[in-house]
Amino acid sequence: MSADTRLRELLSEMAPPPEIAEDQVVAARAALHAAYRDGAPPQPSRRWQPSFAWATAAVAAVVVAAALLLPGASPPVDASLAQIARATRDLEPEQLPAGAFVYSQEASTSLASSQVEGGPQLFYLLPETLDQWVQGATEQRDTTVGRPTFFNSAHETAYYAGGLDLEDGVGQTRTDRHGDVSHLPDITKWSDDPATLRDQLAAELADDVDPVLDEDVRLILLVEELLDPSLNAPPLLRAALIEVVGSRGFDTTDMPDGSVLVSVAYEDPGLGSLVQELEFDEAGFLRASRLIAIEPGPDLPVPADTAIAQSTWSRPYIVDGPGVLPADR
């Protein structure tokens, strides 16, 4: 048996090919027939042509890399972010004692949707609190689901009448423990030299082409991943990441408490006009992330200016073990 065949078998054990319900086929056929009736002339591909997407990303990567390779051509860094980067670079890196864990808390709210059988699709904002303890590949994650908020009372009534709060686990805490392979990215491969890091990020983005998101947004999301407090990135890496973000010409806002908000606006064909924000505190820690629907598109039945995903993070704390909360939190 070939290795490919064995992999297929293993994945089939985990995710067997499902039966397709007849009503699903009927609905899909009806959607296709509606497209026939619309009579729209066949269009050339815009979003779904990989060759175009790859080419665009490759050109972008080359442009970024070329700008970096020019002697003395380091892009200017936004003054507020440069100040945070300087302050962060001066911090001492924290050593993780043997047996200790990094604890952090993320409070998030995200747009969710559910359906009672035969009923309409219900949309609401579902809050979750994630307490994480990480030591290498050993993790404990406690996820507590809060009460959702709704955009109209009919949806709220249908939600609770249909018992969807039980399906969402509202009010419950789920604990996941892993001790083998971390789901978190490996931050040791990233350089803390801003110029080298910029090249690494450009290469990563060129390698991870998403036909929907533009490069600025993908950069922001990648930085968000790498600055996840549970990774407890060292100060030099945090500073370098913030410098790279600061050199892209994004809008920034100085917040009263010394943190800086970075904003990137973009358009999504289904979701509409969006703004992705990241907030860094004065020590270069990621404090918050928000995705705001400024003008929601057809796939997004929410009021304008709704934050359809937002997270705030604690700083990382070193604690003695999983389940242990920091004393000074």
Backbone angles phi, psi at 221, to 5 degrees: -70, -35
Which of 102, 111, 236, 260 binds another protein (CB under 8 A)? It is 111
* Other beta carbons within 10 Å of 174: 11
Which of 56, 74, 83, 110 binds another protein (CB under 8 A)? It is 110
Residues in contact with another protein, shown as a per-residue x/- string from 280 to 309 under the rule CB under 8 A:
---------x-x----------------xx
Q: How many residues bind another protein (CB under 8 A)?
A: 65
Tell me which residue of 294, 291, 289, 296 sits closest to 307, measured CA to CA: 291
Both tokens of 293, joined, read: 């629907």
DSSP string, 180-205: SS-SS---TTS-SSHHHHHHHHHHHH
CB of 187 to another protein, least distance (A): 13
Which of 68, 82, 91, 112 binds another protein (CB under 8 A)? It is 112
Q: How many degrees, rounded to 5, is the angle at CA 228 between CA 256 and CA 259?
A: 10
Which of 70, 74, 141, 252 binds another protein (CB under 8 A)? It is 141
Toward another protein, which CB reaches closer, 113 or 253? 113
User: Rounded CA gap, 6 and 268, in Å?
Assistant: 39
Helix and strand numbers, DSSP H then E, in the chain: 9, 11
User: Rounded CA gap, 120 and 103, in Å?
Assistant: 40
* Other beta carbons within 10 Å of 4: 8
CB of 281 to another protein, least distance (A): 19
Toward another protein, which CB reaches closer, 4 or 90? 4
Does 128 contact another protein by CB under 8 A? yes
Toward another protein, which CB reaches closer, 168 or 281? 168
Which of 67, 116, 212, 283 binds another protein (CB under 8 A)? It is 212
Does 14 contact another protein by CB under 8 A? yes
Hey, which bits of the chain come out as E strands?
Answer: 101-115, 121-135, 138-145, 149-150, 173-178, 251-254, 260-268, 272-280, 286-296, 306-313, 317-319
CB of 139 to another protein, least distance (A): 10
Contact residues: another protein, CB under 8 A: 2-8, 10-11, 13-18, 20, 24-25, 27-29, 31-32, 35-36, 39-40, 42-45, 47-51, 54, 108, 110-112, 128, 130, 141, 143, 176, 178, 180-183, 207-213, 221, 289, 291, 308-311
